[in-house]
Chain A
Amino acid sequence: MIEKRVSQAVLELAMSTGADYAEIYAEDTTYDSIGMVADCVEAVNTSRDRGAGVRVFSGTNSVYAYGNGVDEGSLLSLASKAAAAVNGVKGENKNVVLAERDFGAVCRSVTPVSEVSKADRVNALKEAYFSAKDESPRIVQVRGILNSYVKHVYVANSEGVIGADERPYIRMFIVSVASDGTENQVGNVGPGAGAGFEFIRGLDLKALGKKASATALTMLDAKKCPAGKMPVVMAGGFGGVIFHEACGHSLEATSVGLGNSVFCGKLGQKIAADCVSACDDATMPGEWGSLAMSDEGEKTRRISLIENGVLKGYMIDKLGSRRMDMPSTGSGRRQSYALAPTSRMSNTFICPGKDNIEEMIGGVDLGLYAANMGGGSVNPVTGEFNFSVMEGYMIRNGQIAEPVRGATLIGKGHEILFNIDRVSSDMELGQGMCGSLSGSIPVNVGQPTIRISEITVGGEVK
């Protein structure tokens, strides 16, 4: 994307006022989106986003400048803006010697979306859409979206690395709205991958549409969830959002490096029940949260976060590494060149355990079964998290009973991790978008079916 000699000149200029690290990040991304609503294809959009940023560090201070030009003049101008903000000592000229590094690929597109006609893409979306719509006359509206994009990333830094990564992404959403005339309920599905159109061809699109509508219809008939503290069994897959919110964000250098996390200084200590082990693994082939090269030009890896309840590691980016005086774990990510990178999750999940699902439900007299989760959020300072249950059922006398809606689970991450008392062997991943300081990025959350012995469920107070 950028000539080596240009990168070299830009990095040297960026460091000319005393910075001890400089980095160029450039990207060229083409997004394609096809939207359906009211049985029609509309909102068809193609957009290209290209730009570059230059970042410099002076100790743990960081300066970032970005713009849309990737030509020599634009990049040099970014470098001089960044350099101007560093109040270092003008020392000798720093020589930067760059060499290409091959990071391999963890996500490939076998059938690039650009090689599939718009008509074929539309047909795939329609198959899922109409399967959802035709499920019941009570399904009054459906929204369908097929998003795909390919991100070409280039990084060069003063450590001498030049790296590139091509990242294909594809995701389909179906949102079904069920109505009885006065009330609406929704159900949605949104499978995604770091892949090309072959991912969509491999999905059972009819089943996907049916699933979204089935959730909406079940919830339309559901009563409000009763509020209170109770045991909760959470199905695998997107249920992993609990770990993402309750623990994952608080293990990012963004909060740990500034001393703002409840998990600061707890490496080697017990932070969860014995049955809990968890990882962040950006190297899983073809996954929604995977990437071969971090947005800071480092090789990504599998990070062990918790082993048998003991805190083993944090997710650390380059700046976090300086603040924490610990090596980076290749966790630097960002939405785009318009934001400086920071420590982020990739595919983060609770590892499979040994428990039996029937046994864990069978042992609950009165509780909640969360079949499908919505999103959530967390305050890493207090560890307080919240997330919504999209499809829930009461558990009565060890059996899954009537559906309930409007349930929200809240708690404190460091407390809830000790309350996990069962972990099954059926680990699944679910796709989501995660928002933090460096923007919105694709991540997988995941877990096997787990049981939390007690958690606050928000709902209707009788």
Chain B
Amino acid sequence: MSKINDFCRALGEYAGAHCGCEYEISASTGDSFEVKVLEGEIISYGVNDYTSVSFKVKKNGKMGYASTTALDEDGIPALVSAALENAAVNENPDEQFIYGGAESYPHPKVYGEELDGITAEEKIELAKQLEINAKKADPMIKKVEESEVVSGSGTVVIKNSHGLDLSETSNFIYAIVVPIAERDGKMNSGVGICGGFDRAALDIGKAVADGVQEAVDFCGAGSMKSASRRVIFRNNAFCDMISTFSGIFSSENAQKGLSLLAGREGEKIASDCVSFTDDSTVDFAFGSRSFDSEGVPGQRTEVVENGVLKTLLYNLKTANKAGVRSTGNASGGGVSVTNFSLRPGDATLGRLCEKAKEGFIITDVSGLHAGANAMTGDFSLMAKGYKFENGGKGKTPVTGVTVSGNFYELLKNVEEVGSDVYVNMFGKAVSSPSVLLSAPMSIAGE
């Protein structure tokens, strides 16, 4: 920390003397640890630390940005002049802000003290246990592609020419297991993950069970005839969908004509049972933080309430343009969700199947980076899941199908939201229960 503090102090002094304008310094520093085990041996082990400093200036009303990971004080003039040069070619006419700070900030718990006590040896042992347990769990599991434990901690700092001086330290740990099932020469892999901020969150039993079930169930599973069927998105799959399309709730995308939700606040955009909340103030959640990347306090925002779009998510610039207050969702230079959740209902997954009578449970979608378009809402994705009849009593695993539709339509077609909340651990901190859709969807196979 001392190195980064020294660098930020020197950068602040130089900027104060040479910029003649408002400026802001954001820094992040931290460390990470990872261990991967294969056949009882450590095949990969990493111990790392990182630092990076971003600098922004507001010169003649325009923002300019530059950043570096090379904390040499003799690099400061180049960093500052790059930011000034970048401000000079910026043409964005919107009013920009360097934030003066708020009276109070929430302080969600984002640092699990208990994690400090978990030694490298324990993490290695955990990674080994993942592999051993996965192999024991089912005779079809002959090997485990990945048994990995990753942990880390990091501090973010924001200081600016208005005297704002904020910092927050967080940590995490997670474990991932990828068992491979084999039957009749055919192989299939599954993924199980667990993690959080204390020992209890490292539920490797559950991670192993999830990974093994996926590997075994879909091993040798085939495709099915193309059909239009009732669909249930299982919680994790719907998390992926929400995560991919969460940008539609960004005011920045809306203001640039890149979201079809532009100007639709107050309108019904989803069915009655759909409510979305963004909340960065929850204790021990991956998307929690006291302040956003502009130093604005984190908050809880009801984004969609019973199907009605209440608000989009804002940073200082987009809020000013829309005549509202920032929702504390600044991220990098734009706007992003924090902990974004679909409010659960009462039904279990089993109950959703009973209600649908027959249909298709999508348990996994892949190819989201290419087959889903956040601007149009269209998606066409490879999927796997279970074809079911008789209210879920007869379930057949199916792979190699694609499911296509439109996310905006999907929101309107949610018939019931389940009670089984799944929390995404990678990428965006999205959580969702399983959902049953009212209109059938195209499932393309043979």
Check if A184 sits within 8 Å of B376, measured CB to CB: yes
B403 within 8 A of A: yes
Given A374-B370, A388-B367: A228 and B256 interface contact (C-beta under 8 Å): no
Which partner residue on chain B sits nearest A412 by CB separation?
B400
Does A321 make an interface contact (CB < 8 A)? no
Interface string of B162-195 (1 = CB under 8 A from A): 0000000000000000001000001111000000
Q: How far is the CA of A302 from the CA of B359 in the complex (A)?
A: 49
Does A49 contact B69, Cβ atoms closer than 8 Å? yes
Q: How far is the CB of A460 from chain B (nearest CB, A)?
A: 5
Chain A residue numbers with a CB within 8 Å of B46 are 63-66, 340
B43 touches A62 (CB 8 A): yes
Which residues of B in the span 358-413 have a Cβ within 8 Å of any Cβ on A?
366-367, 369-371, 373, 375-378, 380-382, 399-404
Q: How far is the CA of A408 from the CA of B379 in the complex (A)?
A: 9
- Decide: A461 near B367, CB < 8 A? Known: A258-B38, A381-B180: no
Q: Assess whether A461 is in contact with B258, with CB atoms less than 8 Å apart.
A: no
Interface status of A110 (Cβ within 8 A of chain B): no
B380 A458 Cβ-Cβ under 8 A = yes
Interface string of A47-62 (1 = CB under 8 A from B): 1111100000000111
A160, CB-defined interface residue at 8 Å: no
Check B48 against A66 for contact (C-beta < 8 Å).
Answer: yes
- In the bound assembly, the distance between CA atoms of A408 and B371 in angstroms comes to 7
* Other-chain residue from A37, A47, A377 in contact with B256 (beta carbon distance below 8 A): A37
Contact segment of A38-46, A284-292, A307-315: A38-46
Instruction: Tally A residues with Cβ within 8 Å of B.
Output: 76
Question: Is the beta-carbon distance between A40 and B382 smaller than 8 angstroms?
Answer: no
- For the complex, what is the distance from the CA of A114 to the CA of B366, rounded to whole Å? 39
- In the complex, the answer to whether B257 meets A85 with C-beta atoms within 8 Å is no
Q: In the bound complex, do residue B70 and residue A28 qualify as a contact, i.e. CB atoms below 8 Å apart?
A: yes
The answer on a CB contact under 8 Å between A186 and B402 is no
Candidate in B43, B228, B366, B370 with the most chain A CB atoms within 10 angstroms: B370
B11 to chain A, nearest CB (A): 14
Q: Is A112 an interface residue (CB 8 A)?
A: no
Across the interface, A85 reaches (CB within 8 A) one of B45, B91, B187, B399, namely: B45
For A423, what are the chain B residues with a Cβ–Cβ distance below 8 Å? Answer: none
B161 at the A interface (CB under 8 A) = no
Q: Which residues of B contact A62 (CB under 8 A)?
A: 43-45
Q: Which residues of B contact A338 (CB under 8 A)?
A: 48, 50
| A residues near B43, Cβ cutoff 8 Å | 60-62
Asked if residues B44 and A64 are in contact (CB atoms below 8 Å), the reply is: yes
Tell me the nearest residue of chain A to B64, going by C-beta: A44
B45–A140 contact, CB under 8 A? no
Contact present for A40 and B92 (CB under 8 Å): yes
Could you tell me the distance in whole angstroms from the C-beta of B404 to the nearest C-beta in chain A? 5
Residues of B within 8 A of A229 (CB): 446
A183 CB contacts on chain B under 8 angstroms: 376
* Contact status B378-A405, CB under 8 Å: yes
Q: A34–B70 Cα gap in the complex (Å)?
A: 22
Residues from 113 to 152 in A contacting B, C-beta threshold 8 Å: 118-119, 122, 140-141, 143
Q: Does A88 have its Cβ within 8 Å of any Cβ on chain B?
A: no
The residues of B that contact A119 with a CB separation of less than 8 Å are: 89
Judge if B67 is at the interface, Cβ distance under 8 Å. Answer: yes
Say whether B380 contacts A388, CB under 8 Å. yes
Q: How far is A228 from B226 in the complex, measured between Cα atoms in Å?
A: 7
Establish whether residues A406 and B404, one from each chain, have CB atoms under 8 Å apart when the complex forms: yes
**Is A67's beta carbon under 8 Å from chain B?**
yes
Contact partner of A460 (CB less than 8 A), chosen from B52, B373, B442, is: B442
A456 to chain B, nearest CB (A): 7
- Is A410 in the interface zone, CB < 8 Å from B? yes
In the complex, chain B residues whose CB is within 8 Å of the CB of A227:
226, 402, 404, 442, 444
Asked, given contacts A258-B145, A458-B382, whether A44 binds B442 with beta carbons under 8 Å apart, the answer is no
Q: B51-83 toward A: CB 8 Å interface, digit per residue (1/0)? A: 110100000000111111111000100010011
On whether the beta carbons of A260 and B145 are closer than 8 Å, the reply is yes
B237 to chain A, nearest CB (A): 15
Task: Say whether B49 faces chain A, with CB atoms less than 8 Å apart.
Answer: yes
Beyond A43-B65, A47-B66, 13 additional contacts (C-beta under 8 Å) are A47-B68, A61-B45, A63-B46, A68-B49, A141-B256, A227-B444, A340-B46, A382-B186, A385-B382, A388-B380, A457-B444, A458-B402, A461-B442
29 contacts between A and B (CB under 8 A): A28-B70, A41-B91, A42-B92, A46-B65, A46-B85, A51-B50, A63-B45, A65-B48, A67-B50, A68-B52, A82-B47, A118-B86, A177-B257, A183-B376, A227-B402, A227-B442, A228-B444, A260-B145, A375-B367, A375-B369, A377-B370, A382-B188, A386-B382, A407-B380, A408-B402, A408-B404, A412-B400, A456-B445, A458-B382
